[in-house]
Amino acid sequence: MKRFIGFIKKEFYHIFRDRRSLFILFGMPIAQIMLFGFAITNEINNVDIAVLDHSKDATTKEIINKISASKYFSINQFIDRESDIETIFKKGKVKAVLNFEEGFSKKLIKDHKATIQIITDATDPNTANTISNYVNAILQQYQKGLNNDITIAYQIVPQTRMVYNPELKSVYMFVPGVMTIILMLVSAMMTSISITREKELGTMEILLVSPIKPIQVIVGKVFPYIFLSIVNAIVIVVLSIFIFKMPVQGSLFLLGLESVLFIITSLALGILISTISATQQTAMMISLMGLMLPVILLSGFIFPISSMPLPLQIISNIIPAKWFIIIIKGIMLKGVGLQYLWKETLILVGMTIFFIGLSVKKYKIRLE
Amino acid sequence: MNNNNVIEAQDLTKMFGDFTAVNAISFEVKKGEIFGFLGANGAGKTTAMKMLIGISKPTAGKAKVAGFDVYKQAEDIKKNIGYMSQKFALYDDLTVKENITFFGGIYGLSRKRIKEKSKLLIKELGLEEVENQLVGSLPLGWKQKLSFSVSLLHDPKIVFLDEPTGGVDPITRRQFWEMIYKAASEGTTVFVTTHYMDEAEYCDRVSIMVNGKIEALDTPKNLKQQFNVANMNDVFLKLARG
Ligand SMILES: Nc1ncnc2c1ncn2[C@@H]1O[C@H](COP(=O)(O)OP(=O)(O)OP(=O)(O)O)[C@@H](O)[C@H]1O
Ligand SMILES: [Mg+2]
């Protein structure tokens, strides 16, 4: 155990004294997240909204006043026909249209239920989402005020419709991808480089001649990266929550566990890469070509898997990142638990065991 | 095994594919001896040494190091030997002190022992001024001496040195050999490869390897007599020409 601690201390010296690894470890994740953070702002201020009011009664007036009184929105256009919606969006100034159904007030009194449609321009999906959230909040407040004096609750039902980008392909979709790439990069590339570095320098030989066991060497080398990857994962999640207001719907604990699993998968890949490469250069190239490219191209991070040609769809199944992205999207965006994700989790576990087994075998052969 | 022998090799062979790098070599090394393992580039010195220290499996033959079998007891061998590889192999990005602490640590020395050892060693090598400098910034000669001292940290029975003086100046080489003598006088067996023939004169016995085979093995004095020449360089030239 004492040997092990000494070993880990040494690994941290290597990491903290090497500018390149420091940059990959800390510069890159923060730079990537910041890039997204600045490219997409969430604050909305005096956003132009148009109103299509089919009832023009007291309640709709009140709601319209409430909304235009808030500092987030200014209502400056009233349209009369559904067909105007598209024209008005095309001009680009108006970002959302509120569509009150006919007989809004009457329905609210009679049925205790009336519908308002919030149509947003989702070319900027993040803003669209924020707008609909804010409008919803105002409606909810208004509804609370109504229900204070009445025993049977009134219900205003907001229906959100996003136009132009209904899938909401947005920063929310990118955060899981960025997180996957960074974890993979740090875990697989950094460990494979740091192990091959010892081979290249000849220190690996000295370690193998010492009484320290090969398995201890490997665990000692990957341990710091497990730790640093977890730190990275936390930084990414925290930054995305605070910069992107990214909702994490599901359990943070599960997210953490799944991330650790994926980190271990990547480390196993890193060890495997180090067993087949003699130099740091090779390890880096294999990591970039063999891991990063497939992650970027085939994991569904940028290009939806469903629209790939069939052979690529099949290949995408052997990419661990694909499964991890499904898992974290599920947890972060849909808020689902393990009961929905056990299949993906099992696949990752299986892959991890396979890679560990393979690298242990390869590592042994190398010693002969 | 003769109690006096710390290394025994019999028909030790290593093949890489069809190529025989080490061809059935047999020899013994006695306790406390300085054993020179000579040969030209590519003769198979490093390969033979790697089999003895347990990081390369022999293709055929037998060998015992410190009384342990190289096939089955590599782990026991590792506890009893020190090794300085042909490549300089300390960590350049660690300081002198950190290197000593690290290697002391992986050999299982206690913290107290590491402290004592590192103080003593730094003093002996005259490295007090640079003990907190990165090893990468030191001249090669200093690095080599430090590397040798590190391989002796855990007081091994046998130390294997693979071309320890490669590329350093004659004065440093001289100092290096003084260190080797000192280790030997304290009872450590030294197994050293070199291709500087003048260094062969400092050894108790030398073996000369040509193309994977040991062609001669004796004391420098006997070898010179046998080949009827004045120095080891001529012995070597005669052997190499066949
Ligand atoms: N892993 C390997 N695979 C194939 N051939 C090898 C391997 N290691 C060494 N060889 C070959 O075996 C021969 C002996 O190499 P070795 O390194 O033992 O020589 P050496 O006597 O130490 O030489 P030098 O003085 O250059 O260090 C060389 O021809 C070398 O190319
Ligand atoms: Mg050699």
Q: Is the CB of B39 under 6 A from ligand 1?
A: yes
- The token duo for A312 is 């690529």
Would you say residue B176 lies in a domain? no
Locate CATH 3.40.1710.10 in chain A. Answer: 47-146
Residue B26 CB burial class (10 angstroms; 0-12, 13-18, ≥19): middle
Nearest-angstrom CA–CA distance, B119 and B96: 11
By most ligand atoms within 8 Å of CB, the mutation choice from B20, B45, B163 for ligand 1 is: B45
Contact list, B161 vs chain A (CB under 8 Å): none
**Percent of chain A topping pLDDT 90:** 20
Global pTM reads 0.76
Nearest-angstrom CA–CA distance, B171 and A55: 102
Hey, whose CA ends up nearest to atom 4 of ligand 1? Answer: B16
Asked if residue B57 has pLDDT above 80, the reply is yes
Q: A249-281: per-residue pLDDT in tens?
A: 888 999 999 999 999 999 999 999 998 888 999
Q: Is the CB of B102 inside 8 Å of chain A's CB atoms?
A: yes
Q: What is the pLDDT of residue A167?
A: 47
Would you say residue B204 lies in a domain? no
Residues A162-189: b if buried by 16+ CB within 10 A, e if exposed:
bbeeeeeebbbbbbbbbbbbbbbbbbbb
Q: Are B190 and B30 in contact (CB under 8 A)?
A: no
Q: Are A162 and A118 in contact (CB under 8 A)?
A: no
Strand pairing of B81-84 and B68-69? unpaired
Q: Which CA distances in Å does A318 have to A20, A95, A290, A294, A324?
A: 30, 41, 12, 10, 12
Give the residue with greater pLDDT, A123 vs A83: A83
Q: Is the CB of B132 inside 8 Å of chain A's CB atoms?
A: no
Would you say residue B108 lies in a domain? yes
| Nearest 10 degrees: Cα torsion B142, B144, B147, B152 | -100
Question: Tokens 């970002």 identify what position?
Answer: A95
The CA R_g of chain A, rounded to the nearest whole Å, is 27
Would you say residue B33 lies in a domain? no
CATH of domain A47-146: 3.40.1710.10
Question: Tokens 């080797």 identify what position?
Answer: B180
What average pLDDT score do residues B90-113 get? Answer: 93
Separation in Å, CA of B222 to nearest CA in chain A: 34
Q: Is the CB of B93 inside 8 Å of chain A's CB atoms?
A: yes
**Residue B120's domain spans which residues?**
91-155
The number of domains in chain B is 1
Q: What is the pLDDT of residue A367?
A: 52
Q: Are A194 and A24 in contact (CB under 8 A)?
A: no
Separation in Å, CA of B227 to nearest CA in chain A: 38
